[in-house]
Amino acid sequence: MQQDLIYDEGYLFQQVAQGDEQAFKRIVYHFYPTLMPFITGLTKSKEVAEEIIQETFLKLWINKGKLQTENLGGWLHMVAVNMAYTHLKRVAVEGRLLAHLRDTQPGHSLSTEEDLALKESETLMYNAVSRLPAQQQLVYKLSREDGLSRDKIAQQLNISPNTVKNHLLKAMQSIKVFMNKATKIFFNFF
């Protein structure tokens, strides 16, 4: 089926809300080509992007009678970007857990999927940490990678424990902003 042009998005959305499968198909065929490359760019995985987009359209269908939006395209992009962001956060958390398992269980070998998830999350965290200012980066690494307490970091760097706390808070905020980048890209894109 070729890509249909949507002349009246609001009307099609009303049709979908009433359970019209043909209207739903037109919406899918219209928005899929813009969602796919955008979400693939965020997740760096065509397969993950495909799952996210399918889940996005599934949410539209499941909630068709409850949704109230004037901008269906914006809603679809927002849902897909939020799912991509959630996926990236989950990958980062899984990667840290897998790294912990690998470090604490010397006989444990990772599956290929686990190993890829670990590498992906390590890259994501590395990129987030490498963007921090030098002092924040140093404090963050001493805390998170070397496991030093605030007091030990303060002694080692000859700064107050409160300054260490502030650097850690700012570092965590910067990392969170980096992880939220997907959402910001969405809003800048539109």
The pLDDT of residue 107 = 53
Report the interhelical angle of 21-43 vs 9-17 (nearest 10°): 110
The pLDDT of residue 163 = 92
Count CB neighbours of 60 within 10 A: 22
Joined together, the tokens standing for residue 22 give: 């043909």
Give residue limits of the domains in the chain: 9-88, 110-181
Rounded to 10 degrees, the C-alpha dihedral 164/166/168/173 comes to: -170
The yes/no answer on whether domain 9-88 falls in CATH 1.10.1740.10 is: yes
What type of residue is 169? L
d(CA 85, CA 90): 9
- Burial class of 7 by CB neighbour count within 10 A (0 to 12, 13 to 18, 19+): exposed
Angle made by CA atoms 114, 118, 122, in degrees to the nearest 5 = 175
Count CB neighbours of 14 within 10 A: 13
The pLDDT of residue 186 = 37
The pLDDT of residue 182 = 39
93 Cβ contact list (under 8 Å, min separation 6): 121
What fold does the segment set 110-181 form as a domain?
Arc Repressor Mutant, subunit A (1.10.10)
- Residue ranges of the alpha helices (H) in 21-179? 21-43, 46-62, 72-104, 112-130, 134-140, 150-157, 161-179
Task: Spell out, as residue ranges, where the chain has pLDDT lower than 50.
Answer: 1-5, 182-183, 185-190
Nearest to 91 by CA among 60, 58, 125: 125
Answering whether pTM is above 0.85, one says: no
d(CA 168, CA 144): 10
The pLDDT of residue 189 = 42
Nearest to 67 by CA among 15, 109, 25: 15
d(CA 149, CA 142): 8
The pLDDT of residue 83 = 86
